[in-house]
C-alpha cells in the first residue's frame, strides 16, 4: 500500500512538470476589403432610340418617328442550348422574354456577379465568427525515475522502489475558443451587404433590359397575336 502511494505521488509530480499546454492560435485581425463599385456592371446596354422617318408629302406633311432598340455588348449574345432546329420556332413574347432571361449573356453575367457578391458577404461574415479548435491525444509513456533525478531508498527489508514506472497511457482532450472584435471586420460585413443589394438590383435591371429588347424585336404582328390570346 505504501509503495503504491509513493509511486503514484512521484508519477504525478513528473507529469505535472512535463505537461505543457498548447497555446491557442492567434486570430489575424481583419483588413479592409476593397469591394467593386456598386451599380450595374458595364457588360452591355440596351438603349431605345428614335429615328425620324422621311415623308413624301412635301413640307406640309407630318413627320413620323420610327422607334428602335440599340443592343450592345453582352446583350447581343446568348448561350446555346438544346438541339439546333432548321425550322423557325414560333415564340410568344413571354417565351422570348423567358428565353432571353435564361440564356442571354447579359443576364448570365449579372447573375455571376451577384453570386460573387454573396460569396464576399459570407467571407466578411466569417471574419466576425469565433474560432473554435479542439483536439484529442493519447499518450503511452514510461518514466525513468532515475533519469529524472528521483533516487528513493526506503529502509524496509525486502522493499525496492522501482526505477522505471510504466508503461501507462492517458488521454488529453481540450478545446480553444478565440474571438476577435474588430470595427474593420464589421464595416467589411456591412459593405458586403450593400454590395449584394446592388447586385440584386443589377439582376432586375438586366431582366428589364432583356424584356425591352425582346418585346421590341418580336414585331407588331406578334404583339397583336399575344393580346388576342
Cβ–Cβ < 8 Å for 199, 113: yes
Residues 218, 227: Cα–Cα separation, whole Å: 13
Q: Per the omega criterion (within 30 degrees of 0), is the bond before 107 cis?
A: no
Cα distance between the two ends of the chain: 100
Question: What is the C-alpha separation between 45 and 36, in angstroms, rounded?
Answer: 19
- 177 forms beta bridges with 132
**How far is the C-alpha of 11 from the C-alpha of 76, rounded, in Å?**
80
The string of pLDDT tens digits covering residues 32-62 is 666 555 544 557 788 877 777 655 555 555 5
Please report where in the chains the cell 508519477 appears, as a residue: 11
**Pair 28, 126: CB distance under 8 Å:** no
Residue ranges of domains in the chain: 43-53+63-81+88-130+181-229, 132-178
- SS3 category, 189: helix
pTM above the 0.75 mark?
no
Q: What is the pLDDT of residue 6?
A: 47
CA angle 61–63–68, rounded 5-degree value: 155
Closest CA to 24 of 131, 161, 172, 121: 131
- pLDDT at res. 76: 85
Across the chain, which has 229 residues, the per-10-residue mean pLDDT values are 50 47 52 58 73 59 72 84 80 86 90 92 90 88 78 71 78 88 88 92 90 77 38
Tell me the C-alpha distance between 204 and 113, whole Å. 13
**Torsion sign across C-alpha atoms 204, 209, 215, 218:** negative
Strand partners, 72: 45
- Return the closest-CA partner of residue 207 out of 112, 132, 108: 108
Among positive and negative, which fits the CA dihedral 77, 81, 86, 91? negative
Amino acid at each position: 500500500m505504501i509503495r503504491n502511494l509513493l509511486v503514484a505521488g512521484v508519477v504525478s509530480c513528473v507529469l505535472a512538470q512535463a505537461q505543457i499546454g498548447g497555446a491557442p492560435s492567434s486570430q489575424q485581425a481583419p483588413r479592409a476589403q476593397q469591394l467593386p463599385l456598386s451599380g450595374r456592371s458595364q457588360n452591355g446596354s440596351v438603349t431605345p432610340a428614335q429615328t425620324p422617318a422621311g415623308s413624301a408629302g412635301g413640307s406640309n406633311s407630318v413627320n413620323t418617328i420610327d422607334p428602335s432598340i440599340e443592343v450592345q455588348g453582352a446583350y447581343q449574345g446568348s448561350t446555346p442550348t438544346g438541339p439546333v432546329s432548321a425550322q423557325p420556332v414560333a415564340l410568344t413574347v413571354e417565351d422570348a422574354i423567358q428565353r432571353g432571361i435564361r440564356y442571354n449573356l447579359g443576364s448570365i453575367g449579372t447573375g455571376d456577379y451577384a453570386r460573387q457578391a454573396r460569396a464576399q458577404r459570407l467571407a466578411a461574415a466569417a471574419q466576425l465568427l469565433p474560432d473554435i479548435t479542439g483536439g484529442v491525444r493519447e499518450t503511452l509513456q514510461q518514466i525513468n525515475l532515475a533519469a529524472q533525478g528521483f533516487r528513493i531508498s526506503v529502509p524496509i527489508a525486502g522493499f525496492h522502489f522501482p526505477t522505471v514506472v510504466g508503461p501507462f497511457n492517458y488521454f488529453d482532450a481540450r478545446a480553444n475558443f478565440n474571438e476577435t472584435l474588430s470595427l474593420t471586420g464589421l464595416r467589411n460585413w456591412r459593405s458586403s451587404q450593400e454590395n449584394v443589394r446592388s447586385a440584386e438590383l443589377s439582376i432586375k435591371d438586366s431582366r428589364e433590359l432583356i424584356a425591352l429588347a425582346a418585346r421590341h424585336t418580336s414585331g407588331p404582328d406578334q404583339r397583336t397575336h399575344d393580346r388576342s390570346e
